[in-house]
Amino acid sequence: MFATRLYARIPALYGRANFLAASAATTRGHGRRSVLAALKAQHRPLRQLATAASASLDPAASGKPTVDAPAVGYWSLFCASMVFGIVVWGGLTRLTESGLSIVEWKPITGAKLPTSDYEWEAEFAKYKQFPEYHKVHIGIEMDDFKRIYFMEWFHRNIGRLFGVVYLVPAAYFVAKGKVTKRGAMKLGGLGLLLLGQGAMGWYMVASGLEKELAERPEAIPRVSQYRLTSHLSLAYLLYAGLALYGWNVLRTNRLARGKLPHADSLRSLLQTPEIASFRRKITAATLLVGTTCLSGAMVAGLDAGLLFNEFPMMGDSLSPPLAQLWHSFYARNGAMWPNLFENPATVQLEHRILALSTYFVLSALWFRGRKLPLPRSSRVALHAMYLLANLQVALGISTLVNGVPIANASAHQANSVLLLASALRLYHSLRPLPRFL
């Protein structure tokens, strides 16, 4: 009875062509058992192909992986989340004027926090030799020094911890063949970026420890806005690289294992001209978001947010007078262009223009994207990006008009990373799917 039902379902299961071939075996007198044997023989190559495809994902079976292991993707996203935390804490360190409290760079021995009174007195004595103690934290007591010292010490130590969390697993994944050759090169590039970020951090701090800052009465001891922006830009690049790499590894694994729903339809959709055009616009918008974030770093480095604490006006008009924006005080060898990067009024105006331009561009893309047949993941990222863009504008205005309170300013910086992440996620979800066979 079971054999009769199975025989009746053969056309639906295997297709008309295979059924006819099996029926021919029956007419030659081999019976129904021969039908099943013939079908198994015809589909054996397909089973072998499936086995080979599975083996290509297993380094132990094929010798070399064709895609990076899923664990690498999850680890990369965890590292990206650590970078986000480090950026937020670094912003708090700057806002509390704690970044110059540790005046030496000791990558290994500096990991230890002073414990005895003698050790604290020694660190305090070193700090008193530099301009910030005499111009910013005038007459600071030991308890206050311990507070700002801890802020900077913790920032450096979570950076050290991140170095271990990244470099040790990366070496393990490469040594164990968990990544492809291309993946190993990406891990190496991100590792170099990480080391460069640490070096740039100390280079930035050193700019605020220069003794000549004490000799110039008008000089305020703070780090160079150029070095601060470079330090933050490397952090953003590292975050973006880790996030994109992690998302790509996970999506590629789902595709290779056949766990990405409607992969063929999705591949065709992502290759259509209207989606390709929208992806290019999202790419440009993502670069604009990053540029605006770096403009904010210039504002922070110059304390430009402490000027013109109103919006949308800047004094009596939408823009300060040209004489204030293009001042000879910032000229260098007769050239006025340094005003673009060193004049606090000009830098704040630039940030306002970039921020509003970014918001209007993202709003236009949101309205456009709502009318496109986007995949579900892309649609979620699109809405998240627009929501975070609105929140970023609100946080920026509230930070400005309230005189840059620490909580508002920190939230503004943290949300800028989330906004960049949402734009990157949307871009990645619209990238074409790779082919394996």
Q: DSSP string covering 83-137, please?
A: HHHHHHHHHHHHHTT-TTS-----TTGGGSPP-SHHHHHHHHHHHTTSHHHHHTS
pLDDT at 20: 41
pLDDT at 65: 62
CA atoms in the 13 A half-sphere facing the CB of 352: 22
Helices (H), 128-209: 131-135, 142-175, 181-207
> What pLDDT digit, counting tens, does each position of 264-282 carry?
999 999 999 999 999 999 9
pLDDT at 125: 95
pLDDT at 9: 42
pLDDT at 63: 52
pLDDT at 64: 61
pLDDT at 8: 42
pTM (predicted TM-score):
0.84
Looking at this protein, which amino acid is placed at residue 149?
Answer: Y
Measuring CA to CA, how many Å separate 115 from each of 103, 124, 280?
A: 18, 13, 54
Distance (Å, rounded) from C-alpha 52 to C-alpha 49?
5
Write out residues in the chain with pLDDT < 70, as ranges.
Answer: 1-65, 436-437
pLDDT at 211: 82
Measuring CA to CA, how many Å separate 419 from each of 76, 112, 293, 391?
A: 19, 35, 10, 9
Residue 11: CB atoms within 10 A of its CB come to 15
Among 192, 170, 186, 181, residue whose Cα is nearest residue 71: 170
> What pLDDT digit, counting tens, does each position of 377-424 carry?
999 999 999 999 999 999 999 999 999 999 999 999 999 999 999 999
CB of 200 closer than 8 Å to CB of 227:
yes
Structure tokens at 45: 């190559």
